[in-house]
Amino acid sequence: MIAIPQQPQKMTIEEYLEWEPRQEIRYEYVNGEVFAMTGGTIPHNDIALNLYRALYPHLRSKGCRANVSDVKVQVGSQSIYYYPDLIVSCDPTDLSARKFIQNPKLIAEVLSPSTSAKDRSEKFTYYLKIPSLQEYILIDSEKVSVELYSRGEGRMWLYYPYQAGDTITLSSLDFEFPIELLYEDVVLEEEVKS
């Protein structure tokens, strides 16, 4: 998804949570400002859905839920709400949630040229402060490449890069899958150029 700034209006969290569900498009909320979410590309959508399809049967048996792009996550002290491309929670509060997820275990963002910088900087910084978050995945939508950040001890985060032929390990969910599963039936930019 691509976030573009909305008019420079400020609103409280309460105003945002009441206003946003009545809008035709989704809006992220960051410290009083709202940002319109525009549509992504077909590869972006297909990659997120491929990850969802792989995780769904595994998560059901663990009592967890996965949501794709239309569900927001509350970050930190309630001053930020983002729409990740995929979010997984096993927290009992989140399993019955109706408006947003508060205690994600895993967040995935599919990178595109227009969102990569924000996903790697602003969102990365805020997501890693979520106490329940165990893994953050960045999936490239133009080439076969995945970056996984996994919570270590204390404030340490471990970095795992994956390329074609690798098996991705999501330790927090006790789940492994070949990286190619994410790119199944996805037309990548590098294939279009060849």
pTM: 0.89
Question: Can you tell me whether residue 70 is helix, strand or coil?
Answer: coil
How many domains does the structure of the chain reveal?
A: 1
Planar angle of CA 160, 116, 167, nearest 5 degrees = 30
Residue 163 falls within a domain, yes or no?
yes
Question: Is residue 34 situated within a structural domain?
Answer: no
Would 119 be classed as within a structural domain?
A: yes
At residue 59, φ and ψ (nearest 5 deg) are -70, -35
Any idea what the CATH number is for the domain that residue 184 is in?
3.90.1570.10
d(CA 8, CA 1): 20
Residue 108 lies in a domain: yes
pLDDT digits (tens, 9 = 90+) for 122-180: 899 999 889 999 999 999 999 999 999 999 988 899 999 999 999 999 999 999 999 99
Residue 55 CB neighbour total at 10 angstroms: 21
Q: Which helix (H) or strand (E) holds 57?
A: helix 42-60
| Within-domain flag for 170 | yes
Domain hosting residue 107, numbered range: 40-193
Which pLDDT band, with edges at 50, 70 and 90, does 192 fall under? low
Rounded to a whole number of angstroms, the distance between the first and last alpha carbons of the chain is 26
DSSP label of 22 = G
